[in-house]
Amino acid sequence: MTDQNTFKLKFWGVRGSIPCPGPDTVKYGGNTTCFEITCGEKRIIIDAGTGIRLLGKHILINEGNVLDADLFFTHTHMDHIAGLPFFVPIYNPKNNLRLFAGHLAPPHDLDGIIDTMLMKDPLFPVPSKLIEQACTFSDFSCGETFEPGGGVVIKTGKLNHPNGACGYRIEYAGKVISICTDTEHFDDGLDQSVLSLSRDADVMVYDAAYTDEEYPNFKGWGHSTWQEAIKVAEEANVKKTFLFHHDPSHDDERMDEIGALAAAARPGTEPAVEGTEITL
């Protein structure tokens, strides 16, 4: 049985935009966004990029394909939802996966996106009706707070990303994990929503797809830089910062360079690595 005070974060996918597996991305990983957060007996999953397939495989092999969890989406761009149809536990009708999204505006809703866009002929051969017994879908307004029980508090906040995105602040056992991806910084000062989500966090995961030198070529695409991550961490008094949403063009050698520069600029800053588990 899990210790009631156990608070862990595991990266199942750290890449942005599109999966990029291959010999040049072995060290940091090529799967797109998926986090698993363990709060005592509670399991929280954030995003269902291609990394969630590996989490499903782990649950199938090591946990008898039994799942009771909450899945919160930062948003529903393809790199954050593409793994959901390949997440084996959703096909077990005895499982209970509650899916939430806080960035959508009418006429869009989470159920409709999964049903009519993701798992729909001619894009996918398996109909969404096969996951209806295991899954429920809920939309909320970004800024709401959730208390799913067990002493867990999940606060939400708006992120600056095309079509909208939602960040998360998970509080448990006196510790805090902040998830701020996908988001683009502002020219005229730090994002107050990001600062609120990250204030005094033990761990902050921040969208650092680019470097300051690269950013002007991608301005408006909805992503930030490792240099901005350090500014946020400093202002918000963050203890540990993980750079996230690695650009597909950043191979292991480039990520090593970025990691060294970031760590030198602010100790406790490093690129997220697929498969890494952090215990708070």
CA nearest 35: which of 62, 8, 65?
8
Query: How many domains does one find in the chain?
Result: 1
Residue 275, phi-psi category: left (phi > 0), alpha (psi -120 to 50), beta (remainder): left
Q: Is residue 36 part of a domain?
A: yes
Share of the chain above pLDDT 70, in %: 99
Predicted local distance difference test score (pLDDT) of residue 3: 66
Distances (CA, A) of 222 to 78, 160, 171, 185, 242: 14, 6, 26, 8, 18
The residues of the chain scoring below 50 in pLDDT are 1
CA dist 233 and 259 (Å) reads 15
The backbone region for 122, taken as left when phi is positive above 0, alpha when psi lies in -120 to 50, beta otherwise, is: alpha
- Rounded CA gap, 251 and 25, in Å? 5
Could you tell me if residue 186 is inside a domain? yes
279 near 6, Cβ under 8 Å? yes
Q: Is position 35 within any domain?
A: yes
Which pLDDT does position 47 carry in this prediction? 98
| Domain membership of residue 83 as a residue range | 7-279
Q: Which pLDDT belongs to residue 195?
A: 98
Q: Does 1 map to a domain?
A: no
- For residue 261, the model assigns a pLDDT of 98
Q: Is residue 2 part of a domain?
A: no
Q: Which amino acid is at 279?
A: T
What is the per-residue pLDDT for 164? 96
- Tell me, yes or no, whether 218 lies in a domain: yes
Instruction: Determine the Cα–Cα distance for residues 7 and 170; give it in Å rounded to an integer.
Output: 10
Res 2: pLDDT: 54
The reply to whether 85 falls in a domain is: yes
Whole-number Cα distances in Å, 119 to 122, 135, 182, 252: 9, 14, 23, 33
| pLDDT score for 1 | 44
CATH of the domain at 100: 3.60.15.10
| The pLDDT value given to residue 267 | 98
- The answer to whether 82 and 175 are in contact (CB under 8 A) is no
pTM of the model: 0.96
Per-residue pLDDT reduced to its tens digit, 40-55: 999 999 999 999 999 9
Q: Is 121 left (phi over 0), alpha (psi -120 to 50) or beta?
A: beta
210 in a structural domain = yes
